[in-house]
Structure 1
């Protein structure tokens, strides 16, 4: 199962309670409590925050993100470790700790020891690269699995181009057990949307655009309604509009509404392919090399119409019979 998680990024308990209710109403399947966003932070506040979230009956992730990996507050390591330990004792379903934080000092011993005493909680070990892809995504995944086999690896990086997403897709395909992999930024949007089809453990969507906690997050409402979250599965056939820009395109809304109306197990995506002919060709080659992704066809708009014609002409033995 893939969960749609909605982060709660409020600065105080009252505002967090309102966000939690909005997240539940928007269709969240997991609530992530981003405690690093709190104006004040201590173990008692984290317990109170959990008590506000528990009535939703949804699984709860507690995160206290290191500022170097996208955290909102510059909280010291000792306090962040204390917060996560308190969350375990208070009944959180998951805690998310950065992998490099996990390896510092006695953090690993404290967290694994607390989890051993409170067996309900599972550990997510995360790594984030806001500059671009990791040097070796597969090796980082293996390092996390070796360091803590029972943890769920979470690997998130910025896609500088849509072609950067395919390494993440390959890891989702090859990973053993639960894993979270997706890309940040507009170029990485499809990796967030396709997490359910490709078997990722969690993907994230915000309550509203003002409360996004990472670049490229779309709202839970968009994920559920525009991108057919509840209907997507491993067999969903994919389509999309290739262009640059594509965010303005009405095609996803039109086609996905048609799929709903006709009961078609399909999903139409905005495919931001920046660059020129070489980048366009690389994107199509990446698709062609991965039939398992299940793409059934594309619309093509500027600046790639001529590039698409050239690509089709180069593959003439496959394309020409369709034009007769």
Structure 2
């Protein structure tokens, strides 16, 4: 089962009591891990004692992270950050995982972290790498370095997605993993990698306790995961969504996932942002339909892609429904278990039925 980690920032020792309360509330909301983000706590003179107190009162198993500025965090001094992590490995209540950035594994102070993890027998070393610009060109090399590290218990990769297609590579990385792995996409295109992590065996996904508390761009809240049906995702879960641009305003995911839950249907329905150009639609929908293990079984399609959908289905030799064919636009993509595709327009019959009901007649 994929664990859900809630990141909580602890900037000073005065924040610890509130941080413990926030973690307890997150546990009640479904979190199974807490990621203590102590990026700024290392600036305090008594930082080691503060971290021990933080860990001792943690209501959930913890990941301890002191994220560097270079990788999206706030820790400016790598030596101090590593010293804080090393001290935590000697705590009476150690974290479940210590996050060590790949770029810091060769730092002279990293040896104390790695030795402390090895000596504890209780802590897992989580090696991580992040890219906030896009998919790093050496992504596979980074993963290989982390996977083959003699002390790595978990490998984590996260990068800024440029399109929904990035999620497919994250899924493939999880499928090919040789050690427990976290593979996440950041930004507005990255939600599928977070919600569907359990379908592909991801060890952990991350979700904030509330809007504004995110530790990375595009990170959902615990409530978002619940609305998307995260807890029901398994390897056979069917994937659906609403395709459009923009799409953040759509209430369709909330509605459909509620119905799926009520019906006990093994499916999830996601917001799927696709930029307005035909080329984006063709490339993204084609990749999702063709992915061998995603189980993409269809989508609602809204503006500006209704005409694109008809063109897409025709070009791929699929079936275009009569209303969609007549007006050149469709709002529903259907993908069969045999990957055969079809599109229909449900707007036309719905409009016709509404008009007939309003006019109290059977024909127009």
Q: TM-score range by the shorter chain?
A: over 0.9
Task: Please tell me whether residue 102 in structure 1 is matched to residue 105 in structure 2.
Answer: yes
Question: 2:272 maps to which residue?
Answer: 271
1:43 is the counterpart of 2:44? no
Deviation at 1:316, TM superposition (A): 2.7
- Contact 2:146–2:152 (CA under 8 A) maintained in structure 1: no
Q: What residue is the counterpart of 1:253 in the other structure?
A: 254
Where 2:95 maps in the other structure, the secondary structure is coil
- Which position in structure 2 is the counterpart of 1:155? 157
- Change beyond 3 A, Cα 1:183–1:323: closer
- In the alignment, the residues of structure 2 paired with residue 319 and residue 38 of structure 1 have an alpha-carbon distance, to the nearest angstrom, of 59
Structure that is richer in helix per residue: 1
Aligned to 1:8: 8
1:323 positional shift: 7.8
In 2, distance between residues paired with 1:323 and 1:126?
42
Residues in 1 aligned to 2:211 and 2:197: alpha-carbon distance in whole angstroms = 20
With the length of structure 1 as denominator, give the TM-score of the two structures. Answer: 0.93
Q: 1: distance between equivalents of 2:215 and 2:174?
A: 23
Correspondence for 1:20: 23
Higher relative contact order (CA 8 A, sep 6+): 1
CA separation of 1:302/1:317 partners in 2, compared to 1, >3 Å: closer, same or farther?
Answer: closer
Alpha-carbon contact 2:158-2:184 (below 8 Å) kept? yes
Aligned-pair CA distance for 1:128: 0.6
Counterpart residue number, 1:125: 127
Provide TM-score, normalisation by structure 2: 0.83
Residues 127 and 323 of structure 1, relative CA distance in 2, 3 Å threshold:
closer
The change in CA–CA distance for 1:317 and 1:15 in structure 2 (over 3 A counts) is: closer
SS in 2 for 1:218: coil
SS of 1:36's equivalent in the other structure is coil
Structure 1, gaps ≥5 residues long: none
User: Which runs of 5 or more residues in structure 2 are unaligned?
Assistant: 322-340, 345-364
| C-alpha separation in 2, matches of 1:204 and 1:37 | 20
Count of residues in correspondence between the two structures: 318
Q: Is the 8 A contact 1:30 1:60 kept in 2?
A: yes
Aligned equivalent of 1:52:
57
Provide closer, same or farther for how the CA distance between residues 221 and 39 of structure 1 changes in structure 2, counting only shifts above 3 A.
Answer: farther
Indicate the residue corresponding to 1:228 in structure 2: 229
Does the CA contact (< 8 Å) of 2:95 and 2:123 recur in 1? yes
CA deviations over 1:277-321 (Å, ceiling 9, x no partner): 111111122113313101111111111111111011112355579
Deviations 1:103-162 (A, max 9, x none): 22241x212211121010000111110011111322211121223363311110001222
